[in-house]
Chains A and B, each alone.
Chain A
């Protein structure tokens, strides 16, 4: 069973996910940032679903294991689409939405094919292995795409503060998970410590999005070159 720490983090994360939706609704940003809110709503549903399955079947049950990995893959795909919606907004002035949509599908299919090629050797539980592999690869693609998007924000001198904060918070989120994953592999003897951190990192994205929706008005503008670590 899970301990009080895991339950506390789960509760905090679930509350923050619902806070994002409430803040977006209150600030009329629900439709404007549709895919981001869809991802948050999906995270909320999955959080509640995981809790239900956990309390019915237990942490070590197959039901929980399958639900966890399959829902994680779906959430990663939803997050990938949310990230691509930020691309669409940033490149909206160039009328590049159509190309971004096509690129999104091609990149997702490419990642899925690559993941399939990696797992096809293992004959048993092919679908489950594929789902886990896809989820991991898509996370890595997400990190790369966020980095490229941030470079595009700087290059195109994007000034919309909300968009800038969304992109930066995604960058922090993906980097946190990637660094944690790498440290887990580097120091396998201390794996439990890094596993302890993982759910806490999950709270960062809803926290920062709730903050952005609530505090940063749509009209707010920032000069992005002032934010870059390396002056431009």
Chain B
């Protein structure tokens, strides 16, 4: 009984903290403007949609990985999966939640696009270094 109560409490707390933590990661990237080439490649102009996420992630995987952003990309991937789960379950019953999950999924796609921009410039720097040597 006690273990059940602790589990419910801690799972609710975990959900609250995990969502807020992911949103704090996303918040930093939402202020950044996408470069012209990222806009061209991803088709995202100013506002991203949740449907763009998978495509942007595929593009991300084509670029050499930056060790600095690997973990945050994984965390956002997990957050996106959680949103997908909420969208196909709870959001069907609560319309306001559907709008919220859609907007969050779009923010995740925008975060991935910002990470893509960083990876493109990282690859470009690496190539320039190789050319120099």
Contacts and interface: CB of A to CB of B under 8 A. Distances in A.
Interface of A: 143, 146-147, 150, 161, 164-165, 168-169, 171-172, 174-176, 178-179, 181-183, 185-186, 207-208, 211, 214-216, 220, 222-223, 226-229
B37 to A, nearest CB: 23
Q: Binding site of A, secondary structure by majority: helix, strand, loop or mixed? A: helix
Interface residues of B, number: 24
Given A161-B24, A216-B28, A181 B6 contact: yes
Given A165-B21, A211-B72, A227-B23, A182 B4 contact: yes
A228 B16 CA distance: 8
A212 to B, nearest CB: 9
A150 B17 contact: yes
B6 A227 contact: no
B20 A168 contact: yes
B3 A207 contact: no
Contact of B23 (A186, A208, A226): A226
B41 interface: no
27 contacts: A143-B13, A147-B13, A150-B17, A150-B20, A165-B21, A168-B17, A171-B16, A171-B21, A172-B14, A174-B13, A175-B10, A175-B11, A178-B10, A178-B13, A179-B11, A182-B6, A182-B7, A183-B7, A185-B2, A186-B3, A186-B4, A186-B7, A208-B21, A215-B68, A220-B28, A226-B27, A229-B20
Nearest to B2: A185
Q: Binding site of B, secondary structure by majority: helix, strand, loop or mixed? A: helix
B24 A175 contact: no
Contacts, number: 86
Interface of B: 2-4, 6-7, 9-11, 13-21, 23-24, 27-28, 68, 71-72
A146 B18 CA distance: 13
Nearest to A176: B14
B54 to A, nearest CB: 24
Contact of A222 (B10, B16, B18, B24): B24
Contact of B21 (A143, A169, A223, A226): A169
A120 B22 CA distance: 43
Contacts of A222: 24, 27-28
B21 to A, nearest CB: 4
Nearest to B9: A178
Given A175-B13, A179-B10, A222-B28, 8 more contacts: A143-B13, A161-B24, A182-B7, A185-B6, A186-B4, A215-B68, A227-B23, A227-B24
Contact of A185 (B3, B20, B68): B3
B104 to A, nearest CB: 10
Contact of B71 (A168, A207, A228): A207
A227 to B, nearest CB: 4
- Nearest 3 CB-CB pairs, A to B? A171-B17, A175-B14, A182-B7
B19 A214 contact: no
A130 B19 CA distance: 35
Contacts of B24: 161, 164-165, 168, 222, 227
